[in-house]
A = this chain, B = another copy of it.
Amino acid sequence: MTTPTSRTRLSPQARRAQLLELGARLFATRSVEEISIDVLAEEAGVSRGLLYHYFGSKQDFRLAVIRHAVEHLVEQTAPPAEGEPLERLLTSLGVYVDYVLDNLTLYRSLVRAAAGGTDELRALHDEGRFALTDRIFREDAQGEILTDTPQARLVVRGWSAMAEEMVLTWADDPSVMTRDELLSVLALSLPALVDLT
């Protein structure tokens, strides 16, 4: 597939971002092992040399693609600045659920690659989870949902793994509960779990 990207003049930064987007799309249909600079060069219609210039190596390319996807997810799911903490959490979770539904194969592939991959990939997964959950503490500074203690941090980490698992399982069979019911369980479970510590 040759896309117009091979002919358009873009700044190096914009071109790099575009190649990362293309890389993310590759993730949606191929296993991590199959994603290479060669495949991207073919799909994007650009030279391998240019890709090596931007990304250095196959490993660095994969890492850059996943980092880009993680940053995109964290950005997309930023909760609204105003509102009740629980309302803001619900809104943020809603965007997360929709993101997973819209990018199901990609997201599943990223989670798998991160969980089973190299130390660097796992660190990236952890960073992503940390960015998503740390935000909850920062935006709930008044402690309306939870107070920031080591115990609460441990519980929120577990809650985050639960949310990931529940959303991915639910996406396979959304007849189990409505999207609103799922969001409600996820949002309300956070204070309920922290209350147990």
Contact = CB atoms under 8 A, between A and B. Distances in A.
A151 B170 CA distance: 10
A65 B113 CA distance: 22
A166 B176 contact: no
Contacts of A160: 165
B158 A162 contact: yes
Q: How large is the interface on A (under 10, 10 to 19, 20 to 34, 35 or more residues)?
A: 35 or more
A176 B196 CA distance: 14
A10 interface: no
Contacts of A184: 196
Contacts of A181: 151, 197
Interface stretch (A37-45, A67-75, A95-103, A186-194): A186-194
A166 B111 CA distance: 18
Nearest to A177: B151
Contact of A162 (B111, B116, B117, B161): B161
A2 to B, nearest CB: 33
Interface in A157-176: 157-166, 169-170, 176
A169 B154 contact: yes
A154 B166 CA distance: 6
Given A113-B116, A185-B196, 18 more contacts: A111-B115, A115-B115, A115-B116, A150-B176, A151-B181, A155-B185, A157-B165, A158-B162, A158-B166, A161-B161, A161-B164, A177-B197, A181-B197, A185-B197, A189-B196, A192-B192, A192-B193, A192-B196
